[in-house]
């Protein structure tokens, strides 16, 4: 595991739950940090330089959980070391870089994954099967949002706000990418055109002089000691979208919506019925009808379609949440490796670098649309 802020330990916890994968090493920016993290997480090996980790012949797979600006270089070196790679998103800082990484992963024949874990919720697997079986008829409209509040105050600060670390986009790249990947997975549609409006609610933020971790509460005493930093990435975005089959949609992302902690939600409106899901209540799927009472499907293997059942691991009423979606991502990824499948021939049931590249292309189209205030075609 390279990088162990908020998401790295979540990867480790999920991988350990698989029982057939051993976490053997962590890498941090210094040896001291690596030693502390290894002791905290109970990992035997610690590296202050990730390149030393890559030279260890006993390591088969490397997870890249570093800040965004480090993804492309580290992903490239993981691939060139001949090891399988699982990267956090965004895959790179530009679509040209993500295209390069996808080509490189295919050239070396390594198993490559991107942690788009929301598609791995049991209810998302169920909904995708319902769509495939045409239960909703033709899906004409897709709309929703992904709202958070961890950037609500101008004293909230994180490395994602910095251009050189986070990239040209923040709310869209960080959470909008998850929304787009999830709805494309569930519906089987591709986003082909976008019209975007972005807004930096706080063009100046107050950076605490002491470091804070992602999603951590800012200490009021510390927050009084700060420097003012200009912000160029968006706190909010709304995006009109067109899909490859001519259907329409819209989504809003925000990191300044009080009370919304991790509120990804979306609704599908078909010619037969509708469906609505929100991540903060992941075991429920609302199904809407015109001519009879609406339904509420609860996550239960006894009620799921056959192909969706392997994604749910507990009886109905035993809710599986966000950590379980990460576990499902790891399960699909590591079974693919353990079963000896070929990433060039076999179709994986997890997001790959190809999906990461598509995400980069959508993000760049959204940025271009906002800059030019017009519809922009997603170029892959």
**Of 73, 94, 117, which one is at a domain's C-terminal end?**
117
CATH code for the domain in which residue 247 is found: 3.30.360.10
Residue 270 lies in a domain: yes
One domain, residues 162 and 223: yes
Q: Are residues 39 and 68 in the same domain?
A: yes
Which residue, of 89, 117, 145, is where some domain finishes?
A: 117
Do residues 34 and 140 both lie within one domain? no
Q: Are residues 277 and 147 in the same domain?
A: yes
Q: Look at residue 217 and tell me whether its pLDDT is greater than 60.
A: no
The verdict on 139 and 47 lying in the same domain is no
Tokens encoding 310? 């392997």
At 114-172, the pLDDT tens digits run 999 999 999 999 999 999 999 999 999 999 999 999 999 999 999 999 988 889 999 99
The strand order across the sheet containing 376-377 reads 295-298, 284-288, 274-278, 263-270, 139-147, 248-254, 236-243, 191-199, 376-377
Chosen domain end from 73, 99, 117: 117
Q: Could you tell me if 79 and 168 lie in one domain?
A: no
Give the separation between CA 266 and CA 270, rounded to whole angstroms.
Answer: 13
């609860």: which residue's tokens? 298
Q: What's the rounded Cα separation, in Å, for the pair 13 and 323?
A: 8
Does pLDDT of 27 surpass 60?
Answer: yes
Same structural domain, 70 and 155: no
**Quick one: average pLDDT of 10-35?**
96
Print the domain residue range for 14. Answer: 7-117
Total structural domains within the chain = 2
In a domain, 252, yes or no: yes
Q: Please give the pLDDT value at position 224.
A: 65
Does residue 205 form part of some domain? yes
Over range 298-324, report the average pLDDT.
94
Answer yes or no: is 339 within a domain: no
**What is the rounded distance in angstroms from the CA atom of residue 327 to the CA atom of residue 6?**
16
How far, rounded to the nearest angstrom, does the alpha carbon of residue 52 sit from its chain's CA centroid? 28
What pLDDT score does 113 carry? 98
- Same domain, residue pair 100 and 148: no
What are φ and ψ of residue 7, in 5° steps?
-85, -30
Decide if 151 is inside a domain. yes
Residue 341 is assigned to a structural domain of this protein: no
- pTM, 2 dp: 0.93
Percent of the chain with pLDDT over 90: 92
Whether residue 154 sits in one domain with residue 75: no
In contact, 323 and 314? CB cutoff 8 Å: no
Would you state the structure tokens that stand for residue 195, as one six-digit string?
């019209």
In this structure, the answer to whether residues 88 and 127 fall within a common structural domain is no
125 and 30 both lie in a single domain: no
* CATH classification of the domain holding 56: 3.40.50.720
Same-domain check for residues 225 and 304: yes
Q: Is residue 336 part of a domain?
A: no
- Answer whether residue 326 is part of any domain: no
């Amino acid at each position: 595991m390279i990088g162990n802020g908020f998401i790295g330990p979540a990867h480790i916890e999920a991988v350990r739950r698989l029982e057939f994968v051993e976490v053997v090493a962590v890498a941090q920016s210094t040896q001291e940090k690596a030693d502390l993290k290894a002791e905290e997480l109970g990992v035997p090996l610690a590296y202050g330089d990730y390149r030393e980790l890559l030279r260890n012949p006993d390591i088969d797979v490397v997870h890249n959980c570093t800040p965004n600006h480090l993804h492309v270089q580290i992903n490239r070196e993981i691939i060139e070391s001949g090891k399988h790679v699982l990267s956090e998103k965004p895959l790179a800082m530009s679509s040209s870089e993500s295209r390069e990484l996808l080509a490189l992963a295919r050239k070396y024949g390594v198993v490559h994954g991107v942690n788009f874990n929301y598609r791995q919720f049991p209810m998302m697997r169920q909904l995708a099967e319902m769509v495939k079986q045409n239960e909703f008829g033709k899906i004409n409209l897709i709309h929703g949002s992904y709202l958070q509040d961890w950037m609500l105050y101008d004293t909230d600060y994180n490395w994602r706000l910095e251009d050189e670390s986070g990239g040209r986009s923040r709310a869209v790249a960080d959470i909008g990418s998850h929304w787009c990947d999830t709805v494309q997975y569930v519906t089987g549609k591709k986003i082909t055109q976008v019209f975007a409006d972005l807004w930096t609610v706080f063009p100046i933020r107050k950076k605490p002089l002491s470091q804070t971790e992602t999603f951590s509460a800012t200490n009021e005493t510390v927050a009084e000691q700060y420097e003012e930093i200009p912000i160029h990435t968006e706190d909010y975005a709304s995006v009109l979208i067109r899909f490859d089959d001519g259907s329409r949609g819209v989504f809003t992302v925000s990191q300044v919506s009080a009370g919304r902690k991790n509120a990804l939600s979306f609704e599908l409106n078909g010619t037969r019925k509708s469906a609505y899901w929100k991540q903060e209540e992941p075991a429920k799927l609302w199904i809407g009808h015109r001519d009879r009472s609406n339904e509420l499907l609860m996550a239960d293997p006894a009620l799921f379609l056959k192909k969706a059942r392997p994604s749910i691991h507990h009886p109905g009423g035993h809710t599986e949440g966000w950590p379980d979606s990460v576990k499902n991502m790891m399960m699909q990824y590591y079974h693919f490796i353990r079963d000896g499948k070929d990433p060039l021939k076999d179709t994986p049931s997890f997001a790959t670098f190809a999906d990461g590249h598509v995400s980069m292309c959508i993000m760049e189209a959204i940025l271009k649309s906002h800059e030019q205030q017009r519809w922009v075609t997603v170029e892959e």
